[in-house]
Amino acid sequence: MSDQPLNGAVALVTGASSGIGAATARRLAREGAAVALVARRRDRLDQVARDIAGLGGHAAAVEADITEPERAYEAVQETLERFGRLDILVNNAGIMLFNSALHTTVEEWDRMVSLNVTALLHITHAAVPHLIDAAATSPRQVADLVNVSSTAGRVARPGSSAYSLTKFGLNGFAESLRQELLRERVRVSVVEPGTMDTELVNRLGDATRKVARRQGDAIEALRAEDIADAIGYIVTRERRVAVNEMLVRAGDEIW
Ligand code: NDP
């Protein structure tokens, strides 16, 4: 339908095979965007693409491990080849491995830095020229770069040291990019979810997963759709409006 706010726009969502990324892809498609779905699990991406097609939207699965620099670059290129432009990048793929510095392994720290920081840098670097081009040439006259950070990007707690490093760092990166790109009308934002009910916690080690589940069970956790709503709100504002930061906690969350 031509009155959808993102009609004609193209979005790339990293980590679109589950959780926040899948919900965001569905949300942006509902707003009229064609969506490139980037992650490693092909079957899950195909399912999200089918859901979107079933609702009359457009989506394409782009299977990629974006910690491989050439795949990060190719994911952007494949989006351009498939849909011809790039108006919205949602840097969402991320991993959270909570553990104390004493008990973690340096490999766990490396995995977080490799996805939450390095892969995000590579995708962003490949995408920025195309976002600038989209802002200059689209009817909306604006493009968006949304970064999914975390409350752990604002408040550090024991066990989250390296994860907080990646998310505090992301907030600084986004603020600098915001200032660099505002004249080009590429809006840069961070969304900072609190405690969520997604698959992220399943990826924790046994001990930390139990602690995280206890914390999560004590409150009503956020759903992926709650963060997709926040992202949908940011990218559908008129070009005169820039929502640069959204902190979305669960209602009962203290930290
Ligand atoms: P999920 O685990 O559901 O989503 C993570 C996504 O990242 C998956 O789609 C996964 O897909 C993808 N991914 C993982 N590794 C790679 C890779 N190497 N290359 C490409 N894609 C990859 O968790 P969430 O939806 O909760 O997490 C999304 C974001 O939200 C993350 O940045 C996280 O830090 C942030 N966040 C989460 C919170 C939470 O409590 N859940 C709280 C605050 C922020 P696949 O495995 O198919 O590759």
233: annotated active-site residue: no
Catalytic annotation, pick one of 83, 109, 163, 173 = 163
Instruction: Decide whether any atom of ligand 1 lies within 6 Å of the 67 Cβ.
Output: yes
- The count of domains in the chain is 1
Within a domain: 254: no
Pocket test for ligand 1, best of 24, 38, 71, 96 (most atoms within 8 A of CB): 96
- The tens digit of pLDDT for each residue in 134-188 reads 999 999 999 999 999 999 999 999 999 999 999 999 999 999 999 999 999 999 9
Task: Kindly report the CATH number assigned to the domain that includes residue 229.
Answer: 3.40.50.720
* Host domain of residue 222: 10-247
Residue scoring higher pLDDT (52 or 197): 52
Within a domain: 243: yes
- The tens digit of pLDDT for each residue in 76-131 reads 999 999 999 999 999 999 999 999 999 999 999 999 999 999 999 999 999 999 99
Task: Tell which phi-psi region holds residue 192, choosing left (phi > 0), alpha (psi between -120 and 50) or beta.
Answer: beta
Within a domain: 253: no
d(CA 149, CA 213): 20
Ligand 1: centre distance to CA 148 (Å): 10
> pTM (2 decimals)?
0.96
